Chain A
Amino acid sequence: MNRRALLVSAVAIAAASGIGASYVLNNKQVTQTLSVGGPFKLIGTDGQEVTEAAVKGKYSLFFFGFTFCPDACPTALNTFSLVLGKLGPDADKIQPVFVSIDPARDTPAVLKEYLSSFDPRIMGLTGTPEVIAETAKSFRVYFAKQGEGEFYLMDHSTAIIVMNPDFEYAGVLAGNMQPDEMVVRLKEILAQGA
């Protein structure tokens, strides 16, 4: 595992512990030194260019995954869908984003079809392999191709990176967090930002 994977892992473990998450969220010094996330230029599900401008003004939740993923990715997207429903009016302040780390398979059309099974407010993004690699790097997200041929898989970080409305790093949530717990965490984050 490389260094950035370890860093994200450390952050994710802190988030999973609960105390660590609020520490990270409360302590701006800690969050700023991490420098997670940055400007991006990706492609949306209609083939349009999408930059960080599209998520500014809301708390955005970045999950990196791929549609050929049988377990963690649909679970996380389903969690996003349930969380948006449970948040009620506060859902307007949240923008979940699914970034494909498998652009060879995940064209805008493939992503669009896949995401049609989940809440329509989830934003799907893909891009060229180079741009995806740069974006994942800036978000401290690790991914690696596993296997060859038609049925290769992708190993990837399942952490959910939270960016604030100014598109600054605001924390990390465990990718396998239960919907109710995520709602609580997001309400905490929203309360701090208010």
Chain B
Amino acid sequence: MTRLATFLLACLLALGSLGTVAAAHEQKLGDLVLHHAWSRANPAGAKSGAVFVTIENTGDMPDQLLSASSDVAAMTEIHQMSMENDIMVMKPAGILDIPAHGKVELKPHGLHIMLMGLKQRFAEGDTFSVTLTFAKAGSVTLQVVVDKVDAMGSAH
């Protein structure tokens, strides 16, 4: 997708959901608000990627993130990366609790949606879809925006 097309798409998304171009994108699903789903441009031949998003629960009842799926990868799982001293450890995170009036952040060096067996390469500005399924709220398809290869998400 060209940069212009991406920009126009971003404008449309922003206009549709918020009525302002400047705001970071967010999507709503029942009591849940999903803030800015993003990923990184990946190196040539990369077979894995990670998607980050902040899940906010504005409701009075806790929810749970059960699973994630995407057409861009052969397998999609919620993973937890952690640093134990200087050792990077990564493992499936299982079911994620989303507390009432709480927030769970999927971000670099922590929880993330792990894309394994990537079928395509992402360049900065690309978008793709990831579907999250929650125990109570149901499913939502996120529009994931691809950021720079070294993005840490702080700019959003």
Give chain A's interface residues, CB within 8 Å of chain B.
Answer: 1, 5-6, 8-10, 12-13, 67-72, 74-75, 77-79, 82, 105, 110, 113-118, 142, 146-147, 150-151, 153, 155-159, 174-176
Q: A117-B149, A151-B75 are in contact. Are A70 and B48 (CB under 8 A)?
A: yes
Evaluate contact between A9 and B85: CB separation under 8 angstroms: yes
Evaluate contact between A74 and B149: CB separation under 8 angstroms: yes
Q: A68-B47, A77-B43, A114-B44 are in contact. Are A9 and B117 (CB under 8 A)?
A: no
A-B pairs with lowest CB-CB distance, top 3: A9-B85, A117-B43, A12-B86
Q: Is B36 close to A, CB under 8 A?
A: no
What is the bound-complex CA distance between A30 and B112, given in angstroms?
Answer: 39
Q: Tally of A-B residue pairs with Cβ under 8 A?
A: 105
Contacts of B115 on A, CB cut-off 8 Å? 70
Consensus secondary structure, chain A interface: mixed
Evaluate contact between B45 and A71: CB separation under 8 angstroms: no
Consensus secondary structure, chain B interface: strand
Contacts of B60 on A, CB cut-off 8 Å? none
Q: Is B42 close to A, CB under 8 A?
A: yes
Evaluate contact between A117 and B47: CB separation under 8 angstroms: no
Evaluate contact between B84 and A153: CB separation under 8 angstroms: no
Evaluate contact between A72 and B88: CB separation under 8 angstroms: yes
Evaluate contact between B91 and A146: CB separation under 8 angstroms: yes
Q: A13-B85, A13-B86 are in contact. Are A116 and B44 (CB under 8 A)?
A: yes
What is the bound-complex CA distance between A101 and B35, given in angstroms?
Answer: 35
**Residues 114-156 of B contacting A (Cβ, < 8 Å):** 114-117, 149-150
Q: A1-B87, A156-B87, A158-B88 are in contact. Are A71 and B112 (CB under 8 A)?
A: yes
What is the bound-complex CA distance between A146 and B146, given in angstroms?
Answer: 27
Q: A-facing mask of B104-116, CB < 8 A → 1, else 0? A: 0000110010111
